[in-house]
Every structure is written in structure tokens, then in C-alpha cells.
Amino acid sequence: MTILTDENFEEFIAKADKPVLLDVFATWCPPCKMLSPIIEKIAEDYKEKIIVVKMDLDACPQTGAKFRVEVIPTVFFFKNGEVADKFVGFKPEEEIKQFIDNLI
């Protein structure tokens, strides 16, 4: 799975040929660790429809500040380069799939 950085973030989102689901996490955050395998499964299940990427908040202070990420995990859904929606905190697989299905 692609890990975005402050350096490649804007170009990646702008050039993506599908909607992008971005999981913003931190290595010290237990709910982020719980969410991670679900996000990975979703990346596989939705690989024809969306691109799933991750971003380590500590490693990306500029992008984190730009999108005002203060709570983690925060998951963004980008469509045509813009944030279409987001959610914060751990959610079970089915809820995340519903979140995506409503936005595709």
C-alpha cells in the first residue's frame, strides 16, 4: 500500500485516476493499529473502484496541519482531488464499506 508523505501528497491526490481513501494514523495510536488490517482488506476488496493509501501523521506535519488532523485515526475520502467526506476513530469493516459505497 502506498504511504503518502508531505512531499508526494498533493501530486498523488491530484493525479489519482480513482477516488482515494486516505488512512491517517500514528504509530503510537492503538485504535489506528486496530483499524489498519481492516483498511488493508478494504484496499483489496475495492481495488477496482478506489485507491487506498496511508499517511503517518508524525511524518507529515504539513499535510496534517493543512487538513487539521488532530484526532486519529482519521480517514479521508478524496474525489476529484477534493475531500468528499471523512470519519474519525475506529469503525468496523461494514461501516467503512457503507461509508465508501455512499461516496463512490
Partner 1 sequence: MENEKIELEIKKLLAEYEEYAKANNFKVNPENKIAENIVRALLMREELLGERYCPCRKATGDIEEDKKIICPCIYHKEEIEKDGHCHCNLFVK
Cα–chain center distance at 23: 3
Q: Is 23 left (phi over 0), alpha (psi -120 to 50) or beta?
A: beta
Give the cell for residue 6.
508531505
Q: Are 21 and 85 in contact (CB under 8 A)?
A: no
Options 12, 90, 93, 99; binder of partner 1; rule CB under 8 A: 90
- What is the helix (H) or strand (E) element at residue 93, kind and residue range? helix 93-101
Options 11, 47, 62, 70; binder of partner 1; rule CB under 8 A: 70
Omega cis (within 30) before 73: yes
Stretch that binds partner 1, among 5-13, 45-53, 67-75, 91-99 (CB under 8 A): 67-75
Q: Is 71 in the site for partner 1 (CB under 8 A)?
A: yes
Within residues 22-51, the interface with partner 1 by CB under 8 A covers: 26, 28-34
Catalytic residues: 29, 32
Size of site (CB under 8 A) for partner 1: 18
Which residues contact partner 1 (rule: CB under 8 A)? 26, 28-34, 57, 64, 69-73, 88-90
